[in-house]
Amino acid sequence: MSQLDQVKIVDLPKITDPRGNLTFIEGGDHTPFDIQRVYYLYDVPGGAERGGHAHKGLQQLIIAMSGSFDVVLNDGSTKQRFHLKRSYFGLYVPTMLWRELDNFSSGAVCMVLASNKYDEEDYYRNYNDYLQALKN
């Protein structure tokens, strides 16, 4: 079974109101993990790519807060592209998937909810190292 089989779009609560809509996220309810860290990407230049790594133990929920972008997930043999463009949908990304983010629209904001605090030891930043780890 591939880790790609665990990837899913999470439909977040959307409370509609003529004064403006509201969406909320509760760790453990809307994510299969407790949220330990939140970060966001913004002012990404046109044509730029982000990501280019995999995590050993970190799980994430990736959300397009504004604008749109693509998330390309790779399990070492298969790639799958997800286009995110709504702030009430999140992409759940489990451990051990190589990820790249590209195709950012102007003004896009990407928010990431993470299961752990930052730990450089959790990263595979070299694709060949990642592929070797999958074989072990």
pLDDT single digits (tens) 29-44: 999 999 999 999 999 9
Question: pLDDT by residue (tens digit) across 52-111?
Answer: 999 999 999 999 999 999 999 999 999 999 999 999 999 999 999 999 999 999 999 999
Separation CA 54–CA 73 (nearest Å): 9
Q: Look up the pTM and report it.
A: 0.94
Separation CA 2–CA 39 (nearest Å): 27
Where are the domains positioned within the chain? 3-135
CATH of 3-135, one of 3.30.1490.20, 3.30.930.10, 1.10.1530.10, 2.60.120.10: 2.60.120.10
Among all residues, which ones are annotated catalytic? 53
Strands (E), 1-136: 8-11, 37-41, 50-55, 60-66, 69-74, 79-84, 89-93, 98-102, 109-114, 123-124
